[in-house]
Amino acid sequence: MISVERKTKETEISLQLNVHGKQNIEIATGHGFFDHMLHQLAFHGGWDMKLKAEGDLHVDDHHLVEDTALTIGDALQQSWRGLKSMRRYGQRLLPMDETLIMCAVDLCGRPYAVTHLELTRESVGGLACEMVPHFYHSLAVAGALTLHVRKVTGANNHHIIEASFKAVAQALREALSPAEGDVSTKGVL
């Protein structure tokens, strides 16, 4: 179990994460739709996650979403760097009704995120749509991972966002699963 705390003038976050858990999940950020997406991430990732986050939601959702992603990314990096073996790469094509999301991840120490979701609304459930790619960017930077998330098809913004969180979770689950042998020709990540 990895524990990470982050406290700024804008947010206060406490996280416990086990990436090889039994889906024991407790999430409370004060933002219902964001909680729902984080629950999808933990559930489909097969994680145990206890997350309590408070942020300046009276301003907007930016600081809460960004700092939560940084905190989860920090815990992910500690988790994957501490594994004796892992596949390193993970990918997922994930359908949700009319939506199909493609995701690929590389737990490599080289942070990079490319997100193409083509969201058409300003917000969904009170979550600014611009914060979804920003969440993934912050997660990749703090997690020291390469992440690609792309909408193949989809029209419903709720479905696109939710399917993207599920796809990221499934790709991370594969990348974090045990593997035999070296995962890099360099011998180190």
In a domain, 184, yes or no: no
Residue 188 lies in a domain: no
Cα 1 to the chain's mean position, in Å?
17
In a domain, 189, yes or no: no
pLDDT at 88: 97
| Domain annotation covers residue 187 | no
Residue 164 lies in a domain: yes
pLDDT digits (tens, 9 = 90+) for 141-175: 999 999 999 999 999 999 999 999 999 999 999 99
Name the strand (E) or helix (H) holding 40.
Answer: helix 32-45
CA quadruple 11, 16, 20, 23: dihedral positive or negative? negative
pLDDT in tens, 67-92: 999 999 999 999 999 999 999 999 99
Using only C-alpha atoms, what is the Rg of the chain? 16
Nearest alpha-carbon partner for 102 in 120, 114, 84, 112 = 114
Q: Would 183 be classed as within a structural domain?
A: no
Euclidean distance between CA atoms 180 and 53, whole angstroms = 37
Top-confidence residue, 187 or 4: 4
Please say if the pLDDT value at position 181 is more than 90: no
Number of domains in the chain: 1
Query: pLDDT tens digits for 114-133?
Result: 999 999 999 999 999 999 99
Residue 179's pLDDT band (cuts 50, 70, 90): confident
Residues 6+ apart with CB under 8 A from 84: none
Percentages of the chain per state (helix, strand, coil), in multiples of 5: 35, 30, 35
Domain of residue 164: give its range: 2-176
CATH code (residue 27): 3.30.230.40
Give yes or no for residue 188 having a pLDDT over 70. Answer: no
